[in-house]
Structure formats: C-alpha cells, structure tokens
C-alpha cells in the first residue's frame, strides 16, 4: 500500500474499516483467501485514489463496492476457468453477482464473526495471531513479519497456511451457537492477550518492548468491546492491557534494560490509561461473573494505584491470586500468590508456598521459579543460595534483557559479599 | 558479500561472564549494545543474535523412525557458539575489521578479551 501519501487519520480509518468490509464480503463469498485479496485491492485503490480525489462520502460503502466488484470478477473468471458443467464453486455458494449499486449493508457482527474465525481453536496460536493481525488488524504481511522478527516470505507462508487450515477445517463463517460462544470468545481473548504480550515482553530478541504489537492488541480489544459489550472478560482483558501498558515507559532503562515494578519511577506511569483501566475493571466486576482477566486486571490496578511501592496492598493482591488459583490450576498464579504472601508476611512464608511448585512438571526449565526464589532468598539474607538461583534463572531465560537483569542481580550480591 | 561472524567460547574458558563483578558485566553489555548500534547505523548489519546459555542446548539427530533423539549433556571442553552477527560488506577485509572490533569486547577489569571470532562467507543460494 502506498500509505506514504495518506494522512494519519485516513490511514486509521482504512485500518478500522478493513475488517468490517472483509466481514461483509466474507458473508457473501466465504472464501477467506480471495475475499482478503479483494479487500486488499480495495484498500490499495483507496490509498491511491483518496489522496487525490478526497475521502468519499461513504468510505465504507466505497471500499465494499470495490471489493465486491473485484470478487465478482474473480468468481466469473473462476467459473470460466472451471468447466461449465462442474458444480459451482463449493466454497462460494452465492455465485450470482451481487447488486453492486444498491447501498451495500454492513453488519457489525461480521467483524466479530471474522475474529471468531481467525482465532478458531483449530488453528495453532502463531497461525491465529498472524491471521488476526492480517485480516482483522489490517496489517500488511511485511509489518507482521517485522513485528515477529521473521522474514517476510516466512510470514506470508504462515498466513497462507492459516487460511488453508480455515478452509480445510470447514470453519463456518457464522456466529457460533450460544452454547459454544463463551468458549470461542475465550479463544479470541487468548489470541489478543498473546499479541499484547508478544509486544510487551518479547519472548526473544534484544528489544524489551515491541510497542506496535501491544497497541495493536489494545486497538483490537477495544473493537471487541464494541462488538461484545456485555462481556465482563472482554472488559477485563482491555483493562488488564491498559493497566499493564500504562507502566511501559517506566519498565525499561535507556539501554533497554529491564526495571522491575518495585524500582520503577511511578511518575512515568500513564495516569490516563490507569484511570481508564480502573474504570473498566470496576465496570466489569459489577457484572457479576468474575473471570481470570478481570482478576488479573484487578491485581494490576492495585499495583498501579499504589503511589509508592510500600503502599501496595499485598494482602488484597494475595487474596485475588488465591481466587485465581481456585479458578484455574495455573502454576504461574500459585507463584504470584507466593510472592504476594512474601510481601505481606515475609520471605519465609513465600518460600514455604513455593516449595510444592518445585515438583511441578509444568515449571520445569522455566526460569521464573528460580528467579522468584532468588529474590525471596535475597530478602531472607541467604545470599549464596540467591546468587546460585539468579544464575540458574539467567541461563534458562531466552529473553536477553531478562538474562542481563538476572546476571547483574547475582553479580551485585557477589560484589557486596 | 555476506559474512557470518561467530563468537565461539570454550566452556570453562575466559568468557565466564556469570562470575564477573557487576561493573565489568555492565561494561561488556554496553560494549555489545554499542557495537550492534554502530553496525546498524553503518548499514552493514543483516542480523545479530545472542544465543541462550549452552546448558539449554540439545544435540538432536534422527532415529531409525525419523523421530528426534535428543542428547543434552556435553563435555566440559566443548566450544559453544555464544552469538553471531551477519554483515553485508563490500570485502572480506571489512568483515575482518568488524570481527577485530568485536574481539576487543572488554572482560574483567575492562581488559579486552581478544575473543576469537570465526568469519565465514555465506554461500550465495540460488534464487527461489
């Protein structure tokens, strides 16, 4: 796309309209691959024509018409290509050219159905992530490749394979049944959460934060809030992202080094984001049923609302992690529960709670448990053991900023000896 | 011309960053960061990555059934790749120059490590 000529607001408009148009085209033609091509062409046409001709009166209708016209052409040539007596294309039941010049309708639910489709549980997380960013986020393959630090050809292939799995697994382009909806929404939330985390704590590489992915995840979650306004967990996830992202500036030093929560300059935290996140989590809790994202958001809010680290309400945080532990058998929740207990009742209590986790297979090879134990041992004055575990954690993590942080913690304790 | 510059370190050799004083680790990390930035700024860096610790390494080969057989324990004396850079430069001489700069990374007390850097030209693959 020759986006260079577009002003920022038009670019934002196109990004916002892309999934709506794709959803509307999908509802008629079903074939993700050709529908997506058609929408891409419409976006390119907009990017080249709008700067000169001005943004049309009804930009969404304009894009939809161009995309539908393109689809009609595709379908016609496809039919011509195939033998006439062959059965009409199985993945596009409506081969009749749509009435192009009537006002094309857009159903906001189409975008939601598109999200459900891209985040279908039959897709592997990397496929679902790539497909969501492409089809719903409207990012180019090159942009997605850059965000994940892989060659563009690799990402193009990943996206095309994802589309292929959608096609072969017969994922229908329709709203899931009510009985299935919560589970499917859960997959969507999980994918959005993974996109956010990939941006926030890159699992590899030297840059601690790839902010573009985080802001894209927040944008998509905001979109989902509009599409599924009644869902507390959607609000919870948006709140969690905002309350976490609010600390972004304080989270790393000038050379990308990691700064832990208790050493951050809280003056750098984004108060506006925190206020929005707190309001969201409060609204979410008022809806009754409480889910994991809401609980995590509530915990993040307690951290964000403490003016100084010593003002943190650890007892409340410990209680919330306790609820999370009862809700899901997640060792990470148990670990965080132990940290909160250590902060509220001293490191010995925390270390006691961590003991059973040492046998947890799911944490084998994970650096977090060693790092947490090292912190607590350091606080308990057991320096030698702390150094050992900081080093063990440093050799296990694949995040370079995290490795450097842990290595330096160990070195400092050795130096002070 | 593209070259891969490999920083090999013998297990148990002089490059035991984990046991250095904090100040020296910081100086070393700052040197590496700066080196990366300079190579990026000069337009010569294609890729540069640090690898996770050798204790996490596995040696894999296929069994008769084609399934992976992993072997995780290595002898002490083995050399390990700690990290690499891929540079795109006009000549081998320039690649050697860059390698020499990397070799000067500071160790304990800020003394250069004179690390051996293996420089290999990358074979040109046919266009796919």
Selection from B13, B14, B15, B16 nearest residue B77 by Cα: B13
* CB contact set of A401 (below 8 Å; sequence gap of 6+): A206, A208, A252, A256, A257, A258
**Same-domain status, A12 and A73:** yes
Contacts of A355 (CB under 8 A, 6+ apart): none
Question: For position A101, what pLDDT does the model report?
Answer: 46
Q: Which residue, among B34, B50, B51, B70, would best test binding to A if mutated, counting the most A CBs under 10 Å from its CB?
A: B50
Min Cα distance B66 → chain A (Å) is: 23
pLDDT over threshold 80, residue A268: yes
Contacts of A48 (CB under 8 A, 6+ apart): A2, A5
A166 & A219 share domain: yes
Output A382 or A3, whichever has higher pLDDT: A382
Structure tokens at A303: 């951290």
Q: Which pLDDT belongs to residue A373? A: 96
Q: Considering only residues A322 and A249, tell me which one the structure prediction assigns the higher pLDDT.
A: A322
Instruction: Kindly state the average pLDDT of the residues A278-288.
Output: 90
Confidence of residue A310 (pLDDT cuts 50, 70, 90): very high
**Rounded-to-integer distance, Cα B96 and Cα B74, Å:** 30
- Of the candidates A205, A255, A365, the beta carbon closest to that of B30 is on A255
CB contact under 8 A, A255 and B33: yes
pLDDT at res. B12? 63
d(CA B27, CA A259): 18
Judgement on whether residues A140 and A198 belong to the same structural domain of the protein? yes
Question: B29: distance to nearest CA of chain A, Å?
Answer: 8
Q: How confident is the model at residue A189 (pLDDT cuts 50, 70, 90)?
A: very high
**Which two three-digit tokens encode residue A137?**
């986020």
Contact check, Cβ <8 Å, B18/A412: no
Does position A25 have pLDDT exceeding 80, yes or no?
A: yes
Least confident of A106-110, A229-233, A387-391: A106-110
Please state the rounded mean pLDDT for residues A175-192. Answer: 88
pLDDT for the residue numbered A372: 95
Residue A208 has pLDDT above 60, yes or no: no
Residues A116, A58 share a domain? no
Q: Which of A272, A306, A340 is the last residue of a domain?
A: A306
Q: Does residue A208 share a domain with residue A113? A: yes
Nearest residue on chain B to A397, alpha-carbon basis: B52
**According to the model, what pLDDT value does residue A92 have?**
46
A82 shares a domain with A117: no
**A40 and A24 inside one domain:** yes
Q: Tell me: do A142 and A124 sit in the same domain.
A: yes
Does residue A353 belong to any structural domain of this protein? no
- The minimum CA-CA distance between A415 and chain B, rounded to whole Å, is 6
| B56: chain A residues, CB-CB within 8 Å | 365, 395-396, 398
**A279 has a pLDDT exceeding 90:** yes
Span A338-357, pLDDT tens digits: 999 999 999 999 999 999 99
Model pLDDT for residues A388-405, shown as the tens digit of each residue: 999 999 988 888 888 899
Q: Which two tokens stand for residue A276?
A: 């929005």
> Which range marks the domain in which residue A69 is found?
3-100
| A340 occurs within a structural domain | no
Domain membership of residue A294 (yes or no) is yes
Q: Average of pLDDT values for A253-270? A: 87
- The three state secondary structure string of chain A is CCHHHCCHHHHHHHHHHHHHHHHHHHHHHCCHHHHHHHHHHHHHHHHHHHHHHCCCCCHHHHHHHHHHHHHHHHHHHHHHHCCCCCCCCCCCCCCCCCCCCCCCCCCHHHHHHHHHHHCCCCCCHHHHHHHHHHHHCCCCHHHHHHHCCCCHHHHHHHHHHHHHHHHHCCCCCCCCCHHHHHHHHHHHHHHHHHHHHHHHCCCCCCCCCCHHHHHHHHHHHHHHHHHCCCCHHHHHHHHHHHHHHCCHHHCECCCCCECCHHHCCHHHCCHHHHHHHHHHHHHHHCCCCCCHHHHHHHHHHHHHHCCCHHHCCHHHHHHHHHHHHHHCCCHHHHHHHHHHHHHHHCHHHHHHHHHHHHHCHHHCCCHHHHHHHHHHHHHCCCHHHHHHHHHHHHHHCCCHHHHHHHHHHHHHHHHHC
Average pLDDT in the A153-174 region?
Answer: 85
Radius of gyration of chain A (CA): 25
Q: How many residues does chain A have?
A: 417
Question: Which pLDDT value is given to residue A307?
Answer: 92
Q: Do B18 and A400 touch (CB under 8 A)?
A: no
Domain count, chain A: 4
Query: Mind giving me the DSSP string for B35-86?
Result: HHHHHHHTT-EEEEEEPPPGGG--EEEE-TTS-EEEE----TT-EEEEEEEE
Same domain, A197 and A281: no
Same domain, yes or no, for A264 and A286? yes
Which of these ranges, A147-156, A358-367, B70-79, has the smallest mean pLDDT? B70-79
Instruction: Note whether B59 contacts A: Cβ–Cβ < 8 A.
Output: no
Task: Say if residue A114 is in the same domain as residue A209.
Answer: yes
A206 and A252 belong to one structural domain: no
Is A347 a member of any domain? no
- In a domain, residue A324? The reply is no
Residue A141 tokens read as: 């393959």
Domains of chain B in sequence order: 2-121 (3.30.70.1060)
Average pLDDT taken over every residue of chain A = 85
Summarised one tens digit per residue, pLDDT across range A190-201 is 999 988 988 776
The tokens of A363 are what? 């944490």
Domain boundary among A276, A306, A336: A306
Q: How confident is the model at residue A303 (pLDDT cuts 50, 70, 90)?
A: very high
Contact state of B22 with A403 under an 8 Å Cβ cutoff = no
pLDDT in the model for residue A82: 65
Residue A198 maps to a domain:
yes
What residues in B contact A203, CB-CB < 8 Å? Answer: none
- A412/B25 touch (CB, cutoff 8 Å), yes or no: no
Q: Per residue in A209-226, pLDDT tens?
A: 455 788 889 999 998 998
Q: Is residue A73 part of a domain?
A: yes
- For residue B103, the model assigns a pLDDT of 95
Please list the ranges in chain B whose pLDDT falls under 70.
11-15, 73-77, 127-128
pLDDT of residue A213: 84
């Amino acid at each position: 796309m020759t986006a260079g000529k577009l002003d920022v607001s038009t670019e934002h408009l196109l990004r916002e309209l892309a999934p709506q148009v794709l959803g509307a085209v999908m509802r008629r033609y079903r074939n993700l691959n050709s529908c997506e091509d058609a929408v891409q062409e419409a976006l390119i046409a907009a990017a080249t024509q709008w700067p000169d001709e001005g943004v049309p009166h009804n930009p969404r209708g304009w894009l939809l018409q161009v995309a539908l016209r393109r689809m009609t052409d595709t379908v016609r040539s496809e039919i011509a290509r195939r033998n006439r007596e062959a059965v009409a294309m199985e993945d596009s039941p409506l081969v009749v050219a749509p009435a192009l010049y009537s006002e094309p309708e857009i159903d906001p639910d189409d975008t939601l159905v598109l999200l459900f489709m891209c985040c279908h549980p039959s897709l592997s997380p990397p496929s679902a992530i790539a497909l969501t960013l492409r089809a719903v986020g409207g990012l180019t393959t090159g942009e997605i490749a850059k965000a994940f630090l892989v060659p563009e050809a690799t990402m193009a292939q990943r996206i095309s394979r994802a589309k292929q799995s959608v096609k072969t697994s017969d994922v229908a382009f329709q709203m899931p049944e009510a009985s299935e909806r919560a589970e499917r929404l859960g997959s969507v939330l999980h994918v959005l959460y993974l996109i956010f985390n990939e941006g926030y704590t890159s699992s590899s590489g030297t840059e601690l934060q790839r902010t573009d992915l985080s802001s894209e995840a927040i944008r998509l979650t905001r979109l989902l809030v509009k599409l599924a306004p009644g869902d507390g967990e959607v609000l919870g996830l948006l709140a969690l992202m905002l309350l976490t992202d609010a600390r972004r500036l304080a989270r790393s030093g000038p050379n990308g080094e990691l700064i832990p929560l208790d050493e951050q300059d809280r003056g750098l935290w984004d108060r506006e984001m925190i206020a929005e996140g707190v309001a969201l989590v409060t609204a979410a809790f008022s809806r009754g049923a409480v889910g994991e994202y809401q609980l995590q958001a509530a915990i993040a809010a307690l951290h964000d609302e403490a003016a100084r680290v010593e003002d943190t309400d650890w007892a409340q945080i410990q209680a919330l992690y306790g609820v999370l532990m009862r809700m899901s058998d997640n060792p990470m929740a148990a670990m965080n529960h132990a940290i909160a207990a250590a902060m509220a009742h001293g490191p010995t209590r925390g270390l006691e709670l961590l003991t059973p986790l040492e046998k947890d297979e799911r944490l084998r090879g994970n650096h977090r448990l060693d790092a947490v134990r090292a912190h607590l041992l350091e606080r308990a004055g057991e320096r030698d053991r702390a150094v050992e575990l900081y080093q063990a954690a440093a050799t296990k993590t694949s995040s370079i900023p995290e490795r450097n942080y842990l290595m330096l913690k160990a070195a400092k304790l050795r130096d002070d000896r | 011309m593209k070259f891969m510059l490999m920083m090999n370190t013998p297990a148990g050799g002089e490059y035991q960053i984990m046991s250095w004083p904090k100040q020296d680790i910081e100086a070393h990390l700052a040197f590496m960061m700066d080196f990366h930035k300079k190579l990026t700024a000069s337009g010569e860096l294609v890729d540069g990555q640090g690898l996770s610790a050798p204790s996490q390494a596995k040696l894999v080969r296929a069994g008769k059934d084609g399934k992976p057989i992993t072997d995780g324990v290595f002898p002490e004396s083995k050399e390990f790749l700690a990290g690499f850079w891929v540079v795109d430069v006009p000549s081998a001489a320039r690649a050697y120059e860059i390698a020499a700069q990397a070799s000067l990374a500071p160790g304990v007390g800020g003394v250069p490590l004179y690390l051996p850097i293996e420089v290999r030209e990358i074979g040109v693959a046919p266009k796919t």
